[in-house]
Amino acid sequence: MKVAVVILNWNGKNFLEKFLPSVFACNSSLAEIIVADNASTDDSVEFLKEKYPQIRIIKNASNGGFAKGYNDALKLVKAEYYVLLNSDVEVSSNWIDEIIKIMDADKSIAACQPKIKAFDNKNLFEYAGAAGGFIDKYGYPFCRGRILDTLEEDKGQYDDVREVFWATGACLFVRAELYHLVNGFDEDFFAHMEEIDLCWRLKNLGYKIMYCPSSTIYHVGGGTLNKTSSKKTYLNFRNNLILLCKNHPPQYFFLKLIWRMKLDAVAGFKFLVSGQFPHFAAVLKAHFSFYSNLGTTLRKRKALKKNIKNYTTTTVYLHSIIADYYIRGKRTFKEIDLEDRFL
C-alpha cells in the first residue's frame, strides 16, 4: 500500500474499542491499517483478532516504549508513507488524503501533522501538537494553539499550511524511506519528545516538516502517562536535554545548554516550594541521568554531524518562551508570531 497507518498499542483495549471504528470509517483507499502491539498483558490482541480480523497485527517481543515499539514494528512494514497514530485518537473524513496530497506535491517534505484538537472539548486545540510544533532558543517545545499549559480555542486562526519545527507523534505522517535513512526514533528516549528529535534530525538534512489544517483529528492525550505523573516529568526533562545536546548547532551550543540547566533548576525549585516533591525529584533524576549518559549523547552528536552540511535553525523561536509566558504574560502564539522572532 501507499500508506500504512500504524497504531502502537500497549494494554489499550478500551481505546481500540472506542477509536478504531472512526479509523475504519474514515480510512483512505490508499491506506492499510496495522496495529503494533507492545507485549500487552490485557486482551487487546484477542479483541482485535475477534472484532477486526482484517487488521494486520505485529507483535513486538517486549514493551520498549514508543520509540523502540515503532522501530521494531516499522522494520516489517513496507509503504511509501507511515502514519504513526496514537490509539486514543478519533479521526475525521479525508484526514489521510489531505496530507498525502501535500507531501506528494513536494518531495522535500519529510513529515507532516494534521490539526489536533481535544477529544473532550472539540473547540480547543490539544496539548500534544495542536497546530504544529516549535522550539525556542533553549530547546523548550511549544505549539501554535498551545503555549505551555494554555490551550487556545480553534477559531480558524491557524488554518494555513505552514512549515513548523516538529510534528507530533500522536499523528505523524513521515516518508518511510527517510524514517529508515535516519534510523527511526532514538530508542534511548523510550517515550516523549522522540518525534521532536526525529524531526530535528530530518531538518538538519535539509528536509521540511509541515502542518496541514484541512486534516483534523481529536486526541484524548495522556493515555499511557498523564500530565500528573512524575515519570512523565522525568522523561520530558531528561529527553529535552538529550534532544538539545544531540542536535543544536555548534554556535553557542554550550552556552545554551548551561542556560537550559539554569532554567530547569528554576522549574525544580518551583515544584519544591509548591509541595510537588515527586516532580522535584523527577527533575533531579532527569539531570543525573543526562549527566551520567552525556558521553553517549555526545557520541551521537558527533555521528550525526558527519552527515550535516548546514545545521538548520528554520522555524526556531529566537527568544525564550518561558520568559514570554511567565514574565511578559504572553499566552497565545499570535502574541509572539512576529517576523523578527523566528528564523
321 lies in some domain: no
User: Do 123 and 238 fall into the same domain?
Assistant: no
Lowest average pLDDT, out of 35-39, 47-51, 97-101, 188-192, goes to: 188-192
User: Do 143 and 275 fall into the same domain?
Assistant: no
339 lies in some domain: no
338 lies in some domain: no
User: Do 116 and 45 fall into the same domain?
Assistant: yes
342 lies in some domain: no
User: Do 8 and 157 fall into the same domain?
Assistant: yes
330 lies in some domain: no
User: Do 129 and 246 fall into the same domain?
Assistant: no
- Is residue 223 scored above 60 in pLDDT? no
Whole-number Å distance between alpha carbons of 270 and 275: 9
pLDDT computed for residue 323 by the predictor: 92
**Domain extent for 280:** 230-312
C-alpha cell at 1: 500500500
Using alpha carbons only, give the angle 157, 163, 167 rounded to the nearest 5 degrees: 90
173 lies in some domain: yes
- Is residue 224 scored above 60 in pLDDT? no
Whole-number Å distance between alpha carbons of 309 and 335: 34
User: Do 172 and 50 fall into the same domain?
Assistant: yes
Other CB atoms within 10 A of residue 304 CB: 16
What is the CATH number for 150?
3.90.550.10
pLDDT computed for residue 86 by the predictor: 96
278 lies in some domain: yes
User: Do 192 and 290 fall into the same domain?
Assistant: no
- Is residue 15 scored above 80 in pLDDT? yes
User: Do 80 and 205 fall into the same domain?
Assistant: yes
User: Do 166 and 280 fall into the same domain?
Assistant: no
Of 219, 244, 272, the residue at which a domain comes to its end is 219
pLDDT computed for residue 141 by the predictor: 95
pLDDT computed for residue 136 by the predictor: 93
Whole-number Å distance between alpha carbons of 170 and 220: 10
- Give percent above pLDDT 70 in the chain: 97
Using alpha carbons only, give the angle 97, 166, 233 rounded to the nearest 5 degrees: 120
pTM: 0.93
pLDDT digits (tens, 9 = 90+) for 301-310: 999 998 887 7
pLDDT computed for residue 194 by the predictor: 96
- Whether the CB-CB separation of 19 and 43 falls below 8 Å is answered with no
| Closest to 59 (Cα-Cα) out of 49, 51, 50 | 49
pLDDT computed for residue 312 by the predictor: 76
pLDDT (mean) for 202-226: 88
Lowest average pLDDT, out of 5-9, 112-116, 170-174, 187-191, goes to: 187-191
Number of domains in the chain: 2
User: Do 144 and 244 fall into the same domain?
Assistant: no
